[in-house]
Amino acid sequence: MITQKQRRTEKSLCLKHYYKWFLCFFLTLYFLASFFVDHDQDHDHDQRSSSSRSNPLLTNSKPKLFASRAMFESKIHDHKLGFAPQRPNIRTDVFNNLKIYVYDLPSKFNKDWLANDRCSNHLFAAEVALHKAFLSLEGDIRTEDPYEADFFFVPVYVSCNFSTINGFPAIGHARTLINDAIKFVSTQYPFWNRNNGSDHVFTATHDFGSCFHTMEDRAIADGVPKILRSSIVLQTFGVTFNHPCQEVENVVIPPYISPESLHKTLKNIPVNKERDIWAFFRGKMELHPKNISGRFYSKRVRTKIWRSYGGDRRFYLQRQRFSGYQLEIARSVFCLCPLGWAPWSPRLVESVALGCVPVIIADGIRLPFPSAVRWPDISLTVAERDVGKLGDILEHVVATNLSVIQRNLEDPSVRRALMFNVPSREGDATWQVLEALSKKLNRSVRRSNSFL
């Protein structure tokens, strides 16, 4: 006779049997479904790849020189350049789903120059910082599939060829290097030839930007290289009037100042330290404005500042280099930012970052990112012809609206917009570049094809 306890035991064993069968059945269904979903996705991807390649706009006239799409997708740019892949906090929808492809050029165009540490840290190093920042956009705005790209970044470093005579960057090689890079991308990839490079982006961070010369008269005579005139150039040079070195689609960017050096300076500033320097400038001031080249440095402006205020106790003017230069800025109320050979100056960024009111003396200068940095609210502009009145002008500001300007300078978003970070951060200089590019999507072949 079967007892009640035996019946319960048999029932339990039966339930366990059915439960195992039920679990096996659903696991089988799950794996079958996963297989067919993956297979369909691969099939769709192959169809999209095939249709892209069949598009005549994407066909290379020299297929034997064209690397396959599989090769594009397998490249790890960060490892090639030795940059640690770090992920920034940037969403693609912020910039209308902008996509950038970064060319993996031979090392002679970029990586080889990094053997000199100055290449990554001097005032022209925005070309390096932007390259690193774009590479840090892995999986967000940067795409490894060039067929998905709106823009193509061509990372060529032209400002790292330091002279053995004076230590300054020599850029006589720049045009040849740019030309060789374009020759490479136009023969190895099909994208330049679709529209003569109008969706390709370059940097030009030297004195007169895409004219690639340190002297304005020579820069004007040479102009922008013809091969570059259809492209987009991110350059530190910009003026509000017609100029041959702006005869290309361009975005004005700030000169590079190392975030690490600024952080170090800020850490060394005593808490509640009063600004004990009223008006500050340290840098090249020619005693005789016509220099050895026969040209007038700074259009005589710096010489006039020295002659007018060199003995004025309100002005702290120094002509020699000093390692504690940034601490002097942090101690100053007004920081003079006169033109040199070119209108722009790294003092603009350093002054804003360290809370010193920039006094811009460079007629017609076009300043970076005006939509993010309201320059009239945080700086003073003094005409070159009014340098002799500089003392009176600054005294008037002190008596009227200095406190308002200083309060505007304390806005962290203003400082952030002028700094290049790796990885890029929301609102920083790379962010502002992306914002500017997102307004030029009419140049994107991918977007124009979507409307056909």
pLDDT digits (tens, 9 = 90+) for 149-201: 999 999 999 999 888 777 788 899 999 999 999 999 999 999 999 999 999 99
CA-to-CA distance for 30 and 33, rounded, in angstroms?
A: 5
342 and 438: one domain?
A: no
CA-to-CA distance for 157 and 152, rounded, in angstroms?
A: 16
- The string of DSSP codes covering 10-58 is HHHHHHHHHHHHHHHHHHHHHHHHHHHHHHHHHHHHHHHHHHHHHSGGG
Strands (E), 175-331: 200-204, 232-235, 249-252, 277-282, 315-318
pLDDT at 28: 53
Does the residue 12 lie in any domain? no
Whether 317 contacts 311, CB under 8 Å = no
SS3 of residue 78 by DSSP: helix
CA-to-CA distance for 95 and 93, rounded, in angstroms?
A: 5
Closest CA to 444 of 151, 231, 201, 195: 151
104 and 240: one domain?
A: yes
Residue 223 phi/psi, 5-degree rounding, is 70, -175
CATH code of the domain containing 348: 3.40.50.2000
Alpha helices, DSSP H only, in 99-215?
126-135, 174-188, 192-195
Task: Measure CA of the first residue to CA of the last residue in the chain; give whole Å.
Answer: 83
Given a cut of 50, the residues of the chain with pLDDT beneath it are 1-2, 5-7, 9, 11, 13-16, 31-85, 451-452
380 and 444: one domain?
A: no
Does the residue 107 lie in any domain? yes
Number of domains in the chain: 2
pLDDT at 288: 77
407 and 292: one domain?
A: yes
Does the residue 1 lie in any domain? no
pLDDT at 15: 46
CA-to-CA distance for 100 and 444, rounded, in angstroms?
A: 10
Does the residue 155 lie in any domain? yes
pLDDT tens column, 318-374: 999 898 999 999 999 999 999 999 999 999 999 999 999 999 999 999 999 999 999
CA-to-CA distance for 214 and 375, rounded, in angstroms?
A: 26
Closest CA to 254 of 118, 418, 430: 418
314 and 230: one domain?
A: no
CA-to-CA distance for 335 and 97, rounded, in angstroms?
A: 40
CA-to-CA distance for 420 and 356, rounded, in angstroms?
A: 20
pLDDT at 53: 38
pLDDT at 448: 85
CA-to-CA distance for 419 and 425, rounded, in angstroms?
A: 10
* Token pair recorded at residue 139: 């999986």
pLDDT at 22: 52
Does the residue 404 lie in any domain? yes
Closest CA to 313 of 280, 352, 361: 280
CA-to-CA distance for 169 and 181, rounded, in angstroms?
A: 20
202 and 286: one domain?
A: no
263 and 370: one domain?
A: yes
Beta bridge partners of 332: 277
Does the residue 210 lie in any domain? yes
238 and 319: one domain?
A: no
Residue type, 116: N
pLDDT at 89: 52
Closest CA to 306 of 324, 326, 320: 320
Does the residue 327 lie in any domain? yes
114 and 232: one domain?
A: yes
Entry pTM: 0.80
155: left (phi over 0), alpha (psi -120 to 50) or beta: beta
192 and 286: one domain?
A: no
CA-to-CA distance for 421 and 176, rounded, in angstroms?
A: 29
Does the residue 215 lie in any domain? yes
| Residue 167 exposed, middle or buried by CB count within 10 Å (0-12, 13-18, 19+) | exposed
279 and 391: one domain?
A: yes
CA-to-CA distance for 183 and 112, rounded, in angstroms?
A: 19
CA-to-CA distance for 204 and 220, rounded, in angstroms?
A: 15
CA-to-CA distance for 383 and 387, rounded, in angstroms?
A: 7
Domain holding 415, by residue range, is: 259-419
CA-to-CA distance for 430 and 421, rounded, in angstroms?
A: 8
266 and 408: one domain?
A: yes
CA-to-CA distance for 319 and 301, rounded, in angstroms?
A: 14
